[in-house]
Structure 1
Amino acid sequence: MDLSFTVIALVILILCSAFFSGSETAMMSLNKYKLRHLAKQKNKAAERSLKLTRRPDRLLGMILVGNTFANIIASAILTSYAESHFGNMGIFLSTIILTLFILLFAEIIPKTLAAIFPQKIAFPASPVLWFLLFISYPIVALLNLIANGLLRCVGIKIKHKVNAEPLSSEEIHTVVHESKSKLGSQNKNMLIGVLELDMIKVEDVMIPHHRVEYINLSLEIDEIIHQIIHAKHSILLACYDNIENIAGVISTKRALKFIAQDNKPTYEDILTLLRDPYYIPENISIKAQLINFQQKGMRFATVVDEYGSIEGIITVEDIIEEIVGEFSDTYNLHTHIRSSADNTYAATGDTTIREINRHLHLQLPTHGAKTISGFIIDELRDIPIGNCCLRINNYIIEVKKVQNNMIKLVKITKEKNISL
């Protein structure tokens, strides 16, 4: 056996070993969801790769047979040459040299490249793998039968899955978070909003009772009409004196149309425009409530606590905002956050944490306090008696006004804009 034949044979066998090693890693590293998407678009390489990965036991069996065969033949050829030319010392040296070459050029390098570029390697390799699997099927099937039988002996039963294992909602959440560059910030936020609908309660997004606009039926008819004409929203509660005494719900659009037709509507006329309020618990998820709105054909609900006390109201638009973000709607037409020319923001103390997070991306925790005032008090563990500030996620939150043990106004500034 001459040197040239030995070198050529070793190069070919190491390349074969590198092909099997690289294709194994590439096939196992393919994104199964992307692969199925490409296969549905009639990508031939994707279709072949998908069929190969549906039975990983057969694919790996064939690859391991080919890889082992190439390595053993390479070892036998080099050992034979080394023994005939250098004796026992040649056998020892050839083993070390071949091991290093196989590790570097047939294992580490091809597997590293395949892990980094799985699709670029798997797709071109798929026709070859498909052909090799076809011609070696009897051997591979026999080996798989023996291997699966041995696994059953220790209580492991192999199930061949046609489809990829479905992702959990938490895993989808992670995928969406890591796909910002491809999805775009707006699409990403919308998808996250949909995924979080189950985790958000009505009390997290409702309009609290002290911010609810209502029609006071205890006033004179002229004043009631004045309230309706100047109402900011299309649907309002109608109450006696305060929000705890609800008489019903009134559509200001319908009321305005009625007033336009009758210049002198009476108090009884206004009462005929009322419809029964729709009460919901505060701890229901907004996903369930959105479904309830759809089933009942309604878009406005009054939120009550476990004792039946009025906590606030919620509309379909409030829920939709959690998905698509802030927009001009029938109730939250004006945000409680105001921006300044120096890139700072002023917010009232009753601004909700979710509104702060949505506008300023502070990512404040939403499982505790519902408003920025409550959050500051929780952080300080005390009610501030004057101006103070705290740093949260590269923002400085300053308490600017405290009145009657309540934080009325805060100023929020990006830390990079603060000159120390």
Structure 2
Amino acid sequence: MTSESGLFSRCVNAAIRGMMRATRVSLNRRTLELCGHDALHAALDTMHKDGNFGAEDRDRLSDLFDLNELEVSDVMRHRMTMVAVNADDPADVIVRTVLESPYTRMPVWRNSTENIIGVVHAKDLLRALLGPDTTPADVDILKIMQKPWFVPDSTSLKDQLAAFLKRKVHFAVVVDEYGEVQGIVTLEDIMEEIVGDIADEHDIEIQGVRQEANGSIVVDGSVPIRDLNRALGWDLPDGEATTIAGLVINSSKLIPEERQAFTFYGKRFIVMKREKNRITRLRIRPAEDAVPAAE
């Protein structure tokens, strides 16, 4: 077994042991080694039906076994919603941007947000500010930023988790087969696939989503489907599209006009705003609450 595989196995084993202790369920090690993917899911469903543990614990273990089925592109933060700093901004502006951000690490770009030249860590920035007589205007972002790590968007979450652990880093820039930046992925993004949302006192509510008084949800088109599913407990499909706008375009097989409405997956989607060929805002409500409208 390679070092990378060993790191991943230890992580998986620790997660499984922790869940089993918490739920007081014993799963034979030999059974885990011999069972295939489908058999493990069937075993988890049976244990849930028998009352050995709840649906939430079953789903988390299922997510753990599914890491090899998912790709980095499924959990990454898309470049349209990526928070980054411009290397050519004044130093005090960069310092303020980083320190006011809820994120510990931020990509640094130059000329274009798709040209990532580094990654700045808030701890390194604070360390630089501790220098004698140092002011925010004195900080040189190019000296304190780290070299960016680029990973393919098709990498499985299993392999990416192992790579994070092996390199002892938490942040990577995601690129497609042509080397174009698609977004960013963190160790936390992958761990949340296993244990659910990991929140702390600096986390912010999901950006681009607003609950209306009438029960509908107003969503920016760039909001990832997976984030929306997690935040609202929905189960919208994310196999063919990453963002909620992409889901509507993919499902309707066209680029909708403003005020055009569609019903699928138990929801009514109304296009509120479109800029050129991009859907930038949608209203979503349960299909049964929707007022009939021309498609």
User: Would you call these one fold, judging by a TM-score over 0.5?
Assistant: yes
Match of 2:198 among 313, 316, 327: 327
Match of 1:364 among 228, 232, 236: 236
Matched, 1:401 2:273: yes
Pick closer, same or farther for the CA change 1:296–1:229 going to 2, 3 Å. Answer: same
Q: TM-score, normalised on structure 1?
A: 0.56
Q: Check 1:354–1:165 CA distance in 2 against 1; reply closer, same or farther (3 A cut).
A: closer
Q: CA RMSD in A?
A: 3.0
Distance 1:179 1:345, change over 3 A: farther
Equivalent position SS for 1:172 = helix
Task: Show the counterpart of 1:193.
Answer: 63
> Aligned residue for 1:51?
none
CA distance in 2 between counterparts of 1:170 and 1:299 reads 31
Deviations 1:348-404 (A, max 9, x none): 111222223334444333321211111111222111112122223332222222222
Match of 1:305 among 173, 176, 194: 176
Is the 1:209–1:310 Cα contact (8 Å) retained in structure 2? yes
- Seen in structure 2, the aligned counterparts of structure 1 residues 376 and 234 have a Cα distance that, compared at 3 Å, is same
* Aligned partner of 2:166 among 291, 295, 310: 295
- One of 374, 382, 385 as aligned partner of 2:254: 382
- Overall identity of the aligned pairs, in %: 28
Alpha-carbon shift at residue 265 of structure 1 (Å): 5.4
Q: Which runs of 5+ in 2 are unaligned?
A: 1-25
Aligned residue type for 2:218: A
Higher mean C-alpha deviation, range 211-220 or range 267-276: 267-276
Q: Distance in 2 between matches of 1:241 and 1:169?
A: 46
Which residue in 2 is equivalent to 1:255?
Answer: 125
Q: Relative to total residues, which structure has the larger helix share, 1 or 2?
A: 1
How far, CA to CA, are the matches of 1:330 and 1:201 in structure 2? 29
Higher strand share: 2
1:269 and 1:404 map into 2 onto residues whose CA distance is: 38
Q: Specify whether residues 404 and 169 from structure 1 end up closer, same or farther in structure 2 by C-alpha distance, changes over 3 A only.
A: same
Q: Who wins on radius of gyration, i.e. which is larger?
A: 1
Aligned residues: 262
How big is each residue's C-alpha offset from its partner over 1:175-229, in whole Å with a ceiling of 9 and x where there is no partner?
3345545322321221121121111100111111122111211122232233233
Q: Which has the higher contact order (CA 8 A, sep 6+)?
A: 2
Q: Secondary structure at the match of 1:343?
A: coil
Per-residue Cα deviation, 1:311-357 (whole angstroms, up to 9, x for no partner): 11100111112122223269974314333444332221112222233
> Which of 226, 229, 236 matches 1:354?
226
Where does residue 8 of structure 2 map in the other structure? none
What CA deviation, in whole Å up to 9, does each residue of 1:232-274 have, x standing for no partner?
3110112223223333111113202422444335667432211
Which residue identity lines up with residue 304 of structure 1 in the other structure?
V
CA 1:338 to 1:310, structure 2 compared with 1: closer, same or farther past 3 Å?
same
CA gap of 1:165–1:252, structure 2 versus 1, over 3 A, is closer
* Stretches of 4+ aligned residues off by more than 6 angstroms: 162-165
